Amino acid sequence: MTSHFLADTAVLTRRSLRHITRSLDTIITTAVMPIGFMLLFVYVFGGAINTGAASYVDYMLPGILLITIASGISYTAYRLFLDTKSGIFERFQSMPIARPSVLWAHVLTSVVANLISIVVVMLVALLIGFRSSAGVAAWLAVTGILILFTLALTWLAVIPGLTAKSVDGASAFSYPLIFLPFISSAFVPTATMPGPVRWFAEHQPVTLIVNAIRALFTEQPIGTDIWGALAWCAGILVVAYAFAMTTFRRRIS
């Protein structure tokens, strides 16, 4: 049963990845907005923001990486919505394939596409001055956090992809997720924010994830941020997966 599921997921993932390779503009579009934000903040606002000894591009890059992922997962909801409207789900039901593999194919495609977008953003960051003394273990830890964050948001994207009434509705849910890093420690120290905003910024998941990635990049003590970041990502992933699978079963029943 497990091998059947894995084989079906592999076949459907290749199908989904082929669609990506035929429309690389989606990956480019995903990377353009975060790159635009990065250039805007570094060259326009960066000189007015005090981040201590760290250069501003080093300080804000973790937040840009999370925005890249939040932007990319909107395409997952979009592609899933198109599949539901094209009748492909009904055709898959008539075939001897494991039903969850349909969703997992979209999720794995999202992970691959987002990793490519992240690499593009990282290359631009290096061109404008980003530097890190992190070792291999720290880079692997950053990669693991970003993949876990991508999985969590992608399973969240599956829900509107299955339930939306229009293409705009399927992808619009990502807008609040893109905005969330702006009310966190991603771009300015939370100590500069007024009371209620500061409290929200310091207790929302993006701040913990950003702080953990920033500490890994700069080889600073991580403290409890990494455990909080992992807990948030894992919690969102579990809840989103449960709701997505429940929604999927109702749709195909």
Instruction: Write down how long the chain is.
Output: 253
* The residue to which tokens 């390779």 are assigned: 21
The b-or-e profile of 167-185 (16+ CB within 10 A means b, else e) is eeebbebbeebbebbebbb
Tens digits of per-residue pLDDT, 148-199? 999 999 999 888 888 878 877 777 777 888 889 999 988 988 888 898 999 9
Reference 62, options 107, 121, 117, 112; nearest CA is: 121
If pLDDT is split at 50, 70 and 90, which confidence band does 76 have? confident
Q: Which tokens belong to 199?
A: 């409290």
pLDDT value, residue 125: 94
Per-residue confidence at 25, pLDDT binned at 50, 70, 90?
Answer: low
> Cα–chain-centroid distance for residue 234?
13
* Beta carbons of 72 and 117 less than 8 angstroms apart: yes
- Distance in angstroms (rounded) separating the CA atoms of residues 230 and 190: 21
Residue that is written with structure tokens 């501003």 in the block: 56
pLDDT value, residue 96: 60
Domain boundaries defined on the chain: 2-252
Q: According to the model, what pLDDT value does residue 208 have?
A: 93
pLDDT digits (tens, 9 = 90+) for 42-64: 888 777 776 666 788 889 999 99
What is the C-alpha separation between 115 and 136, in angstroms, rounded?
A: 17
Question: When comparing pLDDT for 124 and 4, which is higher?
Answer: 124
Per-residue pLDDT band for 90 (boundaries 50, 70, 90) equals: low
Residue 84: per-residue pLDDT? 74
So what's the pLDDT on residue 26? 66
- Smallest CA-to-CA distance from 115 within 177, 153, 69 is with 69
**CA 201 – CA 197 distance, rounded (Å):** 6
Q: Enter the DSSP assignment of 114.
A: H
Cα gap 26→80, rounded to integer Å: 14
170: CB partners within 8 A, 6+ apart:
77, 78, 80, 81, 160, 161, 164
What amino acid occupies position 196? P
Note the pLDDT of residue 89. 62
* Cα gap 34→163, rounded to integer Å: 27
pLDDT at 213: 94
One-letter amino acid of 20:
I
Over residues 222-241, mean pLDDT: 89
Q: Return the pLDDT at 23.
A: 64
Q: How far apart are CA 205 and CA 195, in angstroms?
A: 18
Other beta carbons within 10 angstroms of residue 230's beta carbon come to: 17
